[in-house]
C-alpha cells in the first residue's frame, strides 16, 4: 500500500514482472503469448507495426464514433503544450488506418497485413479482466473485400487460441450488414423497442433514437429479456450483405472452425460493417470476451483515404494471460550462474562473455565478494540450471566444478570458454 512517502501505480494499471505472484502479470506468461502470436500471425503473412500511443483526439472521435462509451466516457484526453487535444489510444485500429493513409499505402500498395502488440488506455472501472491500461494483440487486413479474408482471419484466431491451449472458448459470429441493412434495421429496432420502453434501462432509452443497435449489447437483465425477442438483422439484410455473410460461414464450416451465430453481436465501436465476431470464455466471469473484431469497410474513407475494405481483430492480453497458467511456461532463466569470490570477477566476466558469444546461452554473474551461500541461494531463486564457483583454488588451477542445480550432481571442467561451452551445450541436448 502506498503511504505518504511512496507513490503507487495509477489505479487500474499493472506492473507485468518476472515471477509475479499473480500468474497473469508474470512476464513468462506474457512472453509465451507474444511468441505464440508472432509465430501464428506471421505464418499468415502478417507483419508487425509499432504505432504511436498518442494520437489526435479527433481521430478516435471520428473513427470510433462520438456516441460510443469509449469516446464518450473512457478516453484519456489532454491538451498538449500547443493546446491541441491529444488522447492515449483506446484501441489500435484508428491509428493503424491513420498510418495506412498517411504513408500512401491505400493508393500504392493497398493490400496490407499488419499486426501489433501494445498498450491501450480506457478509463473504465477496474475489475478482474478490466483495466485502465491494458494490452492488445491485434491485426488489420486492409485492402481485401472478399469473404475469404474474414474467414481466414477467423481461422487464424482459432489456431492462435488452440496453440495457446485455451479451453472452453467459443467463437460467436454475426454480421451488422451494409449501410442500407443497418438503416432499415435501426428503424425496425426503434419500432420494436418503442413497444417495450418500460422494461429498458435509462441508458438504453437514451440510445434508442441515435443508435438502437447498441441496445442489443446491454447486459442489464431487464433489457436482456427484451433484446432476446428482438427481430434478427437477417430480416433486413440486403442480398449483397447476406451473400457475403453466408460465404464467410460456409468457409468457416469448410475449414472446420467451430462457431455459433449470435444475432445479438453488434460490438461497441461504430466502425463495423458486415462481419462481427468475438471469442468468449466461460472461465472469466463477466469480462468474458477475450477477443473481438470485424469488418470496417468504411473507416479508411471516413478518415480521409480512398474507399478501402478492411477486417481486423483485437485480443486482450491480460484476459489471455488470466486463462493461462505459468505451469510449463519456460521462464527466462540463466543456463549458468557464475559465483565469483573476491578477486575472481575478471575471470568470471571473461568466461561469461565467451559463453554469450555462442549466442546460445544465458549467463548471470553474481556479485563478487558476496557470501558463497547467498550467491548460491540467488542462483537457485533465478532458476539457473548450473552454477560455477570461482574461488582462489579455481583461479590458481584453472579448473572448476560445474554444479547441476536440479540434481546437485557436479562435473569437473577446465576453465576456458571453449571447454565450458562444450560441456554446457553438450548437456543441453
Residues engaged in binding ligand AMP (CB under 6 A) = 91, 122, 124, 129-131, 134, 136, 268, 289-292, 314-316, 318-319
Question: DSSP characters for 58-79?
Answer: HHHHHHH-TTSHHHHH--EEEE
Between residues 122 and 182, which has the closer beta carbon with respect to ligand AMP?
122
**CB of 269 or CB of 424, closer to ligand AMP:** 269
Q: How far is the CB of 153 from ligand AMP (least distance, A)?
A: 14
Min. distance of Cβ 228 from ligand AMP in angstroms? 22
Nearest-approach distance from CB 376 to ligand AMP, in angstroms: 40
Q: How far is the CB of 259 from ligand AMP (least distance, A)?
A: 16
C-beta closer to ligand AMP: residue 315 or 402: 315
Across-strand partners of 173?
261, 277
Q: Is 359 exposed, middle or buried (0-12, 13-18, 19+ CB in 10 A)?
A: exposed
CB of 271 to ligand AMP, least distance (A): 11
Q: At a CB cut-off of 8 Å and minimum separation 6, what does 306 contact?
A: 106, 107, 300
C-alpha span between 429 and 423 (Å, rounded): 11
Look up cell 473481438; give the residue: 292
Asked if 13 contacts 81 with a C-beta cutoff of 8 angstroms, the reply is no
User: In this structure, are residues 387 and 336 in contact, taking their beta carbons and an 8 Å threshold?
Assistant: yes
Closer to ligand AMP at the Cβ: 130 or 196? 130
CB 224 within 8 A of CB 218: yes
Whichever of 147 and 293 has its CB closer to ligand AMP, that residue is: 293
Q: How near is the Cβ of 268 to ligand AMP at its closest, in Å?
A: 6
| Shortest separation between residue 352's beta carbon and ligand AMP, angstroms | 40
Which residues, in sequence order, are CB contacts of 394 under 8 Å at separation 6+?
344, 400, 415
Relative to beta strand 112-121, strand 169-175 is unpaired
Residues 6+ apart with CB under 8 A from 233: 174, 175, 176, 177, 181, 185, 263
Q: Which is nearer to ligand AMP, 212 or 292 (CB)?
A: 292
Nearer residue to ligand AMP within complex by CB, 96 or 376? 96
Comparison of 129 and 177: residue with beta carbon closer to ligand AMP: 129
CB atoms under 10 Å from CB of 237, counted, come to: 23
Q: Which residue number is nearest to ligand AMP in terms of Cβ?
A: 316
Rounded-to-integer distance, Cα 46 and Cα 252, Å: 20
Cell readout for 21 is 505472484
Estimate the crossing angle of helix 27-42 against helix 147-164, to 10 degrees. 140
User: CB-wise, 322 or 415, nearer to ligand AMP?
Assistant: 322
Which residues make Cβ contacts (< 8 Å) with residue 83, sequence separation at least 6?
none
Amino acid at each position: 500500500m502506498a503511504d505518504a512517502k511512496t507513490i503507487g501505480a495509477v489505479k487500474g494499471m499493472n506492473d507485468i514482472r518476472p515471477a509475479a505472484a499473480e500468474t497473469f502479470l508474470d512476464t513468462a506468461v506474457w512472453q509465451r503469448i507474444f511468441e505464440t502470436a508472432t509465430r501464428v500471425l506471421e505464418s499468415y503473412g502478417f507483419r508487425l507495426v509499432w504505432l504511436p500511443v498518442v494520437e489526435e483526439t479527433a481521430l478516435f472521435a471520428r473513427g470510433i464514433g462520438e456516441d460510443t462509451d469509449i469516446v464518450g466516457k473512457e478516453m484519456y484526453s489532454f491538451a498538449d503544450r500547443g493546446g491541441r487535444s491529444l488522447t492515449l489510444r483506446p484501441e489500435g485500429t484508428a491509428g493503424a488506418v491513420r498510418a495506412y493513409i498517411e504513408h500512401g499505402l491505400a493508393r500504392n500498395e493497398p493490400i496490407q497485413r499488419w499486426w501489433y502488440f501494445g498498450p491501450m488506455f480506457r478509463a473504465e472501472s477496474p475489475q478482474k479482466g478490466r483495466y485502465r491500461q491494458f494490452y492488445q494483440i491485434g491485426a488489420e487486413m486492409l485492402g481485401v473485400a472478399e469473404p475469404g479474408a474474414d474467414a481466414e482471419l477467423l481461422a487464424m484466431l482459432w489456431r492462435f487460441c488452440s496453440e495457446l491451449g485455451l479451453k472452453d472458448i467459443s467463437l460467436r459470429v454475426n454480421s451488422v450488414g451494409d449501410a442500407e441493412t443497418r438503416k432499415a434495421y435501426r428503424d425496425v429496432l426503434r419500432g420494436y423497442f418503442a413497444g417495450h420502453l418500460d422494461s429498458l434501462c435509462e441508458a438504453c432509452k437514451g440510445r434508442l433514437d441515435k443508435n438502437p443497435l447498441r441496445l442489443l449489447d446491454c447486459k442489464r437483465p431487464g433489457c436482456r429479456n427484451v433484446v432476446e425477442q428482438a427481430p434478427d438483422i437477417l430480416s433486413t439484410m440486403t442480398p449483397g450483405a447476406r451473400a457475403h455473410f453466408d460465404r464467410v460461414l460456409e468457409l468457416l464450416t469448410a475449414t472446420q472452425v467451430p462457431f455459433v451465430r449470435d444475432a445479438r453481436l453488434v460490438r461497441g465501436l461504430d466502425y463495423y460493417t458486415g462481419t462481427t465476431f468475438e471469442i468468449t470464455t466461460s472461465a472469466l466471469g463477466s469480462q468474458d470476451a477475450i477477443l473481438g473484431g470485424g469488418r470496417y469497410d468504411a473507416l479508411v474513407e471516413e478518415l480521409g483515404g480512398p474507399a478501402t475494405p478492411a477486417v481486423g481483430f483485437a485480443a486482450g492480453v491480460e484476459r489471455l494471460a488470466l486463462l493461462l497458467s505459468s505451469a510449463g511456461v519456460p521462464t527466462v532463466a540463466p543456463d549458468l550462474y557464475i559465483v565469483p569470490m573476491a578477486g575472481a570477477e575478471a575471470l568470471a566476466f571473461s568466461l561469461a562473455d565467451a559463453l554469450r558469444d555462442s549466442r546460445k546461452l544465458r549467463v548471470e554473474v553474481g556479485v563478487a565478494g558476496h557470501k558463497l551461500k547467498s550467491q548460491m541461494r540467488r542462483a537457485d531463486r533465478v532458476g539457473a540450471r548450473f552454477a560455477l564457483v570461482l574461488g582462489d583454488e579455481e583461479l590458481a588451477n584453472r579448473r572448476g566444478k560445474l554444479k547441476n542445480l536440479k540434481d546437485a550432481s557436479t562435473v569437473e571442467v577446465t576453465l576456458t570458454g571453449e571447454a565450458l561451452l562444450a560441456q554446457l551445450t553438450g548437456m543441453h541436448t
